Structures are given as structure tokens and as C-alpha cells.
Amino acid sequence: MESTLNDKTIFNTYADIIDWDILTEREYQIIRDLKDNGIEITPTTIIKDLSGLPIGQEEYVGDGSAFTGKKHMLSDYLNKMPHGIIDKRIPGIGATTLEIKSRRNSIIVFPTKALAYSKHLKHHNTLYVGSSIEGKKGTSNAEIQHYINTKSYKKLLVVADSLKRVLTLIKEENYDKYFLMIDEVDVLQSDNNYRPQLEDVIDYYLKFPPKNRCMVTATMKAFSNPQLEHECKFNLPWICDVPREVKLLHTDNITMAVVEEILKHPNEKIFIAYNSIVHIREIILELEEETRKDCTILCSEASIKEAGSYYAPKLEKGEDGKEKLPSRINFATCCYFTGIDIEDKYHLISVSDIRHSHSILSIDRMTQIHGRCRISKGVLSETLVYSTFKSKEVKTIFDELKKRRKHENYSKYLIHKTEKVLNLIDSADKLSNNDSDLRELFKIVKEAIKDHTKQKSIGEAPIKLTRKNIDNQYVPAYLNIDYLQEKYFLYQHVYTSTENIKKEVEQDNCKVIDSISLSYIKTDNQIENEAKNKAVLKVWEEEDIQEAIAEIRQLNSINQLNESTLITQCRGYKKHKKTFYERVMKLYKYVDLDSLLYWLWEIRNMNNKAFKTINNAVVFWALVDNHPLKQSLNYAFQDKSKLYSSDELHMDVIAPIIKYHTHKTISKHKAVNLLNAFYEVKRIKNKGVNKYQIIGENPYHLKVHGDRIFYDNNNLLDFFIL
């Protein structure tokens, strides 16, 4: 099935949101109420938003209305969700519940398994589809198929990573029998860089008929994907939109600022949203021993070890059956920023820390965090604790954009850059269509071209601007572009001054009741606590890697060491353990497992450059002896008595050979690094100048060959990291 794209917008009608053929007496009354309130309503009436409907407010402010004294959730007026891009503007108005209760088959996609599973626990007619959580095993294909075969309306609550499995079982020809809803779609935009498979969800979305799909959030961001340009936009305005009161606290010491805020509320519950387990632990260490006993950390299962005895898997059910915060002082990481329903009263402290990109909050994310509270006036006070970039940092961030004034915004520049590369790739495909020699050549060239579609980003690895879609075609990675646009805005505009933060918060329908800056000098105790915390976390990281090594050896012993099991195994792991698995996945085919695990363990505390060297050593060793690259270098270094300066190595030997075989230009520093990866090298001082002598091969003493890279495989950028 081709993607279902709209040349023009297909608007909703009342027949799209109300089941006119099977109206109950209650629904007839709702329609009469709407008409009495001056709203024209027939099955064919086009409806572009819910203007005039008091959605989201428990009591309609105003006398004499047909709605006075009624509850105003979406399900009080609609039978099913509208199609298109739904901007619900505020959380907690029952969008997900409405679709779960609708009289049609629904697939509802969630960005996290915690969110999907929490909705499943509230609606027992649904099927949770995702990996294991809270002791429940992951959902099997057999369970999905059995559920699909039931006669009642199907309500599949699917974690984004599992959508492909569900749709494979449903089959494309049956897409029109289901309504696909993507919940909290803004999280896909924010997290796609860390979970690149999230954009596949948009590919599948576009394959559903326009009236059988919607994406929903309370904090809608612009989409750079032109395929969504004509998608119906449907707003749910809130007629009683009272501004939130927010206190802004700027600081150079997040830890001590949060500690002071906690101490201001000795008797009431506190909810601290801070996406950093490391720094949460540092805050807890600064509290008195008795106060620490009141602390809990709400986080993902992957962070159980770091959270330690403070870990809480979920909210607690109170005696009244409502979802309560488990402790007096409750810290929460990002998996609790969206989707959960807290039916409790508490002081809210949101933390935005510019030291780490994953700890920076957008203004929209702050709104999402505030929206977790599901009871009227449940947020007793709201404080944003934040830091800002120094002027020198601001000057260098996204500096390249200043050279490109012709682009209206950052995302347009990124799309322009990406499309140029994709046009080159497309031209190469067309030219080589019927020529196998050209096809092989362009295969190599395309790898070199694709390297130019990675965008440097502050505080993280370069981000890919292209991706292969579900039809195996190279296309722009629009969600990554959306992410970079947001990051550019936060770094370049929001977190550059206290004035900018205040302005952005006020524009988000907030009333800033106080805005102050506090500076703290780090005490000896704080410095000591940070060092202790860092040491403990390092020990735990090493324990995690040892666990990974044991798991990998076990897979190997039962002949299950393959790419599929490695991908499945590392799903949900913390970054350091996941990285170890990914490194094994890249190299395990080419070398004996003992050698590989030994060297990956040895470089566990080093940066990515150390892995590049190991990777390149293994790959060069895996080349068959008559591979053109290996032959060229071995011939160049056949005189083992010769001494080379770094300039000679770079200009006369390594750089020209690498350029010829990979079409990549390398620096002198990289040339020396490659030499040390490929050969045993002795460094000698000769007349005060460093010289290099090649004394042997296989510098890492790798033991047993696995798969070999054959002489006719010249697409070397698939293997080497240059």
C-alpha cells in the first residue's frame, strides 16, 4: 500500500466524531445541548475545531449555559477521535480514553512502554503490546494474533517499537478496518535521535487512509515533513484557560537550589522532574539522613541500579483508589513527564540543566509535566529551577547558521542540505541502473556522500539527517530535523538569559510570580558527595558491562549469538551497556569472542576514539590477504627498517591510499591512528624528531579469524570508522 498523501486537506465532519447511526438517548441529549448552545450540527457539517465546546474544565464559567455544572471531557461530547493532527492544548481531557471506548477497532501508539502499560491497566479490554514491564512478559505474536481474531472491537495499546509487529499481523489490506492514533507525538520528535526507529511510526501512519489516522499531543510542535503539510489540523481550544502561576529560579548550582526548594515544604508532598539520575542522587546526598528516608525516584526499569533503594516502579493506589505519589519527596525522570495521571496534591519543581542536553526542558515539556496532575488545584506551587549558557558558549553554539542567512530557519537549512545529498544519491542510482560496474562504484560513493548528512550537535554524537524508510528508500530524517530545530531554539534563544526564559514562559500562558537568580559556592561536602556518587556509578557501570559479557558468552554457548538476539537483548538497557552490545554487534563476526570481549572491556572507560581504533584494527585484520587495500599498505611498508615522520606517513603513504580506496580525506592525526590500528609500530626519536617504524602486523594480537572481508568488497566505509 502506498503512503496515503493529501493534495488538499480532508476536514472532519460531525459524522467523523459522532456515531450518528447508533445514537443513544444520552447522545441525543448531547446533540440537543450543543444545538441549544448555538452550535450547528448535522452529520455532514464540517468541523475544524471544537470552538464553543467547554472541553477540559470541570465547571463552565458563566451563567445560563446549557453546559453549566457538567463535566467537560472529550467523551462527554464525542464518540470517537477526529482524524488528522490533533492539538489538544491541555492534558487530561480524555483523548486516549475516548478512542479506547470508541465503537471501532483502534491501534493506539505510545512513545514509552510505561505509558502504554499504565493505560492498559485501566482498560482491561485492551491488549498491551511491548516488551516486559513490571514482571509482565513481553507480548508474543501468538497473543497478538489471538486478540486480533476476537469478535469485539480491538483496542491495541502499542509501544512505538512494536508497531511493525502488529501491522505485519494485521496486514496492509486491512488497514482501513482500523483507526491508528499516535499519542504524545511530540515525544517522537524529541526522542527520535535516541530511538531512530520512532520515525517508522510516521511511515506507517501515512499508509493509513486519511480518515483512519490521527496524531495527538497537548504540546504540538511544527512538523518539517512536507507529507504532513495538508494533514487536517484539529484544535481543541479550552475556553477557561486560566494562566499557571510559576516561580523562576536561575542558579549556577542546581543541586543546592533544589535542596533549598525541598526544605521550604517540610510537610507537603513534592514532585521534582529532573531527567538525570546522577544529579538526583547528588541532591539526595545533600539532604539530612532523616529527610532521605522520605525520598523516592520514579524512573524506568533500566535505572533500577542507579536509583537503588529509592527506586519506585510506579505510583501508589490510595485508599480511595486514586493514583498517589509514593513518598513525600518524589523525583522523576523523563518517562514520568508524559502520560501518567497523578491524583494527588503536591509542590512541583521542574529542573532544566544545561550541563546535559537530555536534561534541558523545552517550555512545552514543562507544560506536559504540569499536566500530570489530574485533580483540580492539585499543584500547590510550581517552580522552574534552571541554568543558562555563558556568553562564550552561546557564541559558538550553532554558529554555522550565521553564515546562511538565506534560510528562513534552521530546519529549512537542514532540509536543503539533506535534499542536496539525496538528489546526488538518486542521480547515482539512475545512472547505474543497468550497469553493474557503475552500481558497485556508486555504492562506494554513496557511503561517502551519506557521511555529509550528519549534523554536528552540542553535547552528543553527530545526528543523521537521512534514514531508510520502511520501504527501504533513503529519505530525510524529518523527526531528527524537528529535534535539531527545537534544540537550536533552546540553545540559541531560550537558555541564553533569564529575560528570554521569562518571556518564553509567559508566552506559554503562565504568570511569572517571581524571577530570581541565586549563586552558590560548592562546599567541601558537596564536592565530596559528587566524587563519591561518581565512583559508585562507575562501579555499577562496570558491573553492567560484566553482566553484558556474561550474557553474550551465554548466547554464544547456545549458538544464539547473532544480530537479531543482540538487538533484542540490549533493548531497554542503559546507554553504557547498550553501547557495549552495539560494539559487539559490529565486530563479533570477524574475530574470536575472547579477543573481542577482552579489548572492549579494556577500553570501557575511554572515549569513542578508542573504539574506532579497535574497530579499524579488527576490520583490517579481517580483510583477506589479497584485498586491494591490504595489499597496497603492505607493499608500501614492505621495508621494515625504514623510519617515517608523521608528515611522510600522512602525505606520502596512508592518506593517498585511504583516499584511493575509500574516497575519504584524512588528517595527519587520523593517519597515525590508522597506522597504530593496522600494524605494530615502534616510535623512535631520531635527531629530535619522532619517527615511526613498522615492526609487525596484528598489533592487538587477535587470535582466530571469523568471517573474512573478500577482495572484491570495496565498500570499505561500511566497515572502517574514519
Domains along the sequence of the chain with CATH: 12-233 (3.40.50), 242-387+495-520 (3.40.50.300), 389-491 (no CATH), 529-716 (no CATH)
CB contact at 8 A, 192 and 483: yes
- Spatial distance between the Cα atoms of 488 and 502, rounded to a whole number of angstroms: 18
- Spatial distance between the Cα atoms of 285 and 440, rounded to a whole number of angstroms: 59
What is residue 616's DSSP assignment?
H
Indicate the range of 163-167, 187-191, 458-462 predicted with least confidence.
Answer: 458-462
Give pLDDT, residue 292.
Answer: 95
User: Is the pLDDT at 329 greater than 50, yes or no?
Assistant: yes
Tens digit of each residue's pLDDT (9 = 90 or more) over 348-405 = 999 999 988 889 999 989 988 998 888 878 999 999 999 998 866 655 555 555 544 4
User: Is the pLDDT at 156 greater than 90, yes or no?
Assistant: yes
What is residue 516's DSSP assignment?
E
Report residue 400 as a C-alpha cell.
554555522
Indicate the range of 33-47, 288-302, 515-529 predicted with least confidence.
Answer: 33-47
What average pLDDT score do residues 478-488 get?
89
Give pLDDT, residue 71.
Answer: 47
- 139 SS3 class: coil
Indicate the range of 78-82, 432-436, 596-600 predicted with least confidence.
Answer: 432-436
CB contact at 8 A, 202 and 224: no
pLDDT interval class at 319 (50, 70, 90) = confident
Write down the pTM of the prediction: 0.84
Tell me the chain's radius of gyration from C-alpha atoms. 29
Max CA-CA distance within the chain?
99
For residue 296, list its beta bridge partners: 330
What average pLDDT score do residues 26-51 get?
81
Give pLDDT, residue 411.
Answer: 85
